[in-house]
Structure 1
Amino acid sequence: MAYQDIYSLIHSRYTTFTNTEKKVADYILANAKDVLYMSITDLADACCVGESSVFRFCKSMDLKGYQEFKIVLAHSVSLEDETPQLSSQITMQDTIPELSSKILSTNINALTETYNLIEEKDIQRAAESMIKAERIHFFGVGSSLVTALEAKSKFMRITNKTECSIDSHLQSMSASLLTEKDVAIVISYSGSTKDTIEIAKTAKEKGATIISITRFAKSNLTYYSDITLLCGANEGPLQGGSLTAKISQLYLLDLLYFAYFKGTNKESIYNKEQTAKAVVEKML
């Protein structure tokens, strides 16, 4: 579809907005670039309104919801800056050395922010839950599924109780068979992906411990989470699946891996030796 200019759209319908919707519109017009990296909960809090008011604001402009609004906003910001929304720092004029430097800086900043968001007690609780669990399921859709599969691959070197299905229907079925003895690690940058939220809801109903890895402390996903681990990367709506966000998620998973390894030292060492031997003949 051809996206309209969000600023023109807001101005043209401003008089038809309710007072609450005008609060949302005013904030967006004044802070458009910041809103690109905000969840619906963050925007609602910033405007001192409810999430339903933000959703109604989006619907009043004939948009399907908040995610489509952010895509339209991203296109408008890109046109305003006269450059595609590659990222908030990178431009079409950058040379290879400039790109190298900016990408390095972006990744370092994302890892540093993730490090600063780490709560020791949450990592400890998450590791202990995983150690006690009968099964550990990794869940994610889209680019987050790739991260979940990476986590499965890493943990299966030291334990045989990890699982990860590659189809959203299979993930739903796996979630429906969880018990209070299991752990579900749910990965979603936005925390607002419908399939992922449904999986978390199902896992919660079955009594499983839910560990979420996400960007936003307040989201539909964290509502169902027992433990929330926050990644520090900023990803715009036109940058879905960015490696910066994935690196931050993998950093947290690596931290869980070593915490788990320390808590199951003898078993993990033995299993790592066995899995290494299993593939040694496949190497040159």
Structure 2
Amino acid sequence: MKGETKIKTDIFSQINSRYNSFTNTEKKIADYIFKNSKDVIHMSITDLAYNCGVAESSVFRFCKSMNLKGYQEFKIALVHMTTLADESPHLSSEITQEDTLEELASKVLSTNISALTQTYNLINTKDILNAVKAMIEADKIHFFGVGSSLMTALEGKSKFLRITNKTECSMDSHLQIMSASLMTSKDVAILISYSGSTKDVIEVAEVAKERGAKIICITRFAKSPLTSYSDITLLCGANEGPLQGGSLSSKISQLYLLDMLYLEYFRRTYDESVLNKESTSKAVIEKMI
């Protein structure tokens, strides 16, 4: 309950009340937030720092000065205030309490189509080809993610397991960091994180990088703590607010990128993949009645 009170605090009033005591750097951050509050909701800490011309650590200290745990809690407080400022209570960026079921269905469809379209427009062909090349040449392909991104990582493992036996994905964050610590320069780590700011995934990336593994990131933001370790970054196009964690539109855009990797991998290892697909399909069919 105590944490809930924090989140519902008027963040704009807090910033105003502290403004005169802010450093010049903190005032730059505050000024930018006042002018661009709705855009900040969808920014990573790296993006906000870049747009303000300050360091990420300065943004983090700014959030702590509001008696918040960090940037994510600040964004939750911010989204509460921007939502309250609107006439109707928003369930997401477009869906409201007043929508009919038909309107809801239409908006969900539009959101998912938009996420896929944006992801398509962000595709860099060279990055996809380089990622697939690294995966083909790798001894092992490790998929990593936590929370809802873990579900996407597991889907990646499941998909590639149909055509190759070199995929891995651990369910537990401790097991993930252990797997990363045993990776080699012949392995590929595919890290999935919408924000690119998830501590467990960043730690995995750091350890895998130290071991010399190739790092492929599937994320929303080109600049984030996670992408600083990335050799290849594949961007998904869905916008997800801090209260929309694990939204299906972001997951769909990530799965779209995994599908691209899978199909290109299949094409370039066609003979082997066809044989493996037949074997795994037959094994599954025999489980059916």
TM-score by length of 2: 0.96
The answer to whether the 8 Å contact 1:74/1:85 transfers is no
Match of 2:9 among 4, 16, 30: 4
1:103 aligns with 2:111: no
2:218 partner SS: strand
> How far apart are 1:9 and its partner, in Å?
1.1
Match of 1:225 among 230, 237, 244: 230
Match of 1:112 among 88, 113, 117: 117
Match of 2:273 among 268, 274, 282: 268
Which digits, 9 at most, give the CA deviation of each residue in 1:225-255, with x for residues without a partner? 1100000000000000000000000000000
Give the corresponding residue for 1:176: 181
Whole-angstrom distance in 2 between the partners of 1:201 and 1:71: 27
1:244 aligns with 2:249: yes
Match of 2:77 among 51, 72, 90: 72
Gaps of 5+ in 1: none
1:202 aligns with 2:207: yes
> How far apart are 1:283 and its partner, in Å?
2.4
Which digits, 9 at most, give the CA deviation of each residue in 1:186-211, with x for residues without a partner? 00000010000000000000000010
Match of 2:26 among 21, 32, 53: 21
1:137 partner SS: strand
Percent of aligned pairs sharing the same letter: 72
Whole-angstrom distance in 2 between the partners of 1:83 and 1:151: 39
Whole-angstrom distance in 1 between the partners of 2:66 and 2:284: 56
2:288 partner SS: coil
Whole-angstrom distance in 1 between the partners of 2:138 and 2:237: 28
Q: Kindly report the root-mean-square deviation, in angstroms, between the aligned alpha carbons of the 2 structures.
A: 1.0
Q: 4+ residue runs of structure 1 moved beyond 4 angstroms?
A: 82-85
Whole-angstrom distance in 1 between the partners of 2:183 and 2:247: 31
Gaps of 5+ in 2: none
What is the number of equivalent residue pairs in this alignment? 284
The answer to whether the 8 Å contact 1:6/1:72 transfers is yes
Return 78-87 or 191-200, whichever deviates more: 78-87
Query: What code does the residue aligned with 1:90 have?
Result: I
1:223 partner SS: helix
TM-score by length of 1: 0.98
1:213 partner SS: strand
Whole-angstrom distance in 2 between the partners of 1:280 and 1:45: 52
